[in-house]
Amino acid sequence: MPSEDLKELLQLNNMVYKMNVGSMTTLKKIPCQQQNHCISFCTTYDAHDPLLLAGVMPFVDALEVTPDSIAIYKNGQTRLHPEIINSLEAAASQKSIVAHGVGLSIGSFEGYSEAYLELLEELMKLVPLKWHSEHLGYTTIDGMALNTMLAVPRTDEMLEILIQRIQSIMKRIELPFLLENIVHLIPDYEPSYSDAEFLNILVDETGCELILDLYNIECDAINYQFDIDHFLETLNLDAVKEIHLAGGVQHKGFQLDIHSGTVANSTLELANTVIPKCPNLEIITYEILPQAIARYGREMVIDELARLRTKLPINNESESLSTKH
């Protein structure tokens, strides 16, 4: 890739990452006789927007919240936004809440972010969480923010570091811990394992589980001819507890990992192929940035949630739907 293009791409991705960080759902329990009775529908909620929350509540069973996106800096301390916490506490009586971090930076050589874990622990004390999750990547080098997220090198050394860290986090945070596949923004360091092999080893060695982000692998397929079929044939799909869906845009032929729109038909087709192969799947999450909501309006999100519910094999007996407006 020419260096000018790479520079522009990195700048663009910095912007996308900042939007994700700056922004960033329990089913009524129904007996799981068929897989689709077990799958909940979820969306991002990281804003203090009571109208948005009221609009999405009838269409989802769960809400995804990013602790670092709902944090504010006040009096020398980073704390969770009290009004967002108030609305999440109210929502938690009807919906599951899952925490989805962006700032743990589990793959940084110098170590992961203690500040992120403290925010997560604060959130856990205030709102019951179904599980917590992070991206398999890193956002800092030597403590300096990259303002983007990069994929970890898939080597034995990195495996050793990650296994110890995942075990340590799982011991400290007594919730299921899920790791998510991220996009490959820049070419990989010479890998010893494929993406799927690497994730499978982490699952086998630690007992962590997986978020499978289908939009991310579509980005990689468009940008790097990533072999989606081989990835899905190799990945331990028994470990997939959550699937992410999103819609983004292209810039100069590069598909951006930006959650800015509706889910493409290709992503939905992929989802409907993969979902029956994931026997332990519990949540499908539609991710959308607050900036996109500000641009396209709350109705876009609500309409998309309603549309996706009809296009996916998710639990349509959720009590929440009986209050559909």
What is the contact surface with Fe ion in residues (CB under 5 A)?
Answer: 213, 244
User: Nearest approach, Cβ of 191 to Fe ion (angstroms)?
Assistant: 21
- In angstroms, rounded to a whole number, what is the distance separating the alpha carbons of residues 177 and 73? 27
Between 44 and 206, whose beta carbon lies closer to Fe ion?
44
User: Nearest approach, Cβ of 219 to Fe ion (angstroms)?
Assistant: 11
Q: Which residue is nearest to Fe ion (CB)?
A: 244
Between 61 and 213, whose beta carbon lies closer to Fe ion?
213
- In angstroms, rounded to a whole number, what is the distance separating the alpha carbons of residues 153 and 191? 6
Between 182 and 299, whose beta carbon lies closer to Fe ion?
182
Between 184 and 244, whose beta carbon lies closer to Fe ion?
244
User: Nearest approach, Cβ of 74 to Fe ion (angstroms)?
Assistant: 29
Cα 37–chain centre separation: 22
User: Nearest approach, Cβ of 148 to Fe ion (angstroms)?
Assistant: 15
Dmax (CA) of the chain: 55
User: Nearest approach, Cβ of 259 to Fe ion (angstroms)?
Assistant: 8
User: Is residue 198 within 8 Å of 157, Cβ to Cβ?
Assistant: no
Between 213 and 220, whose beta carbon lies closer to Fe ion?
213
| Residue 99: how many other CB atoms lie within 10 Å | 23
Following DSSP, what letter does each residue of 175-217 receive, concatenated? Answer: S-EEEE-----SPPP--SS-HHHHHHHHHHHH--EEEEEHHHH
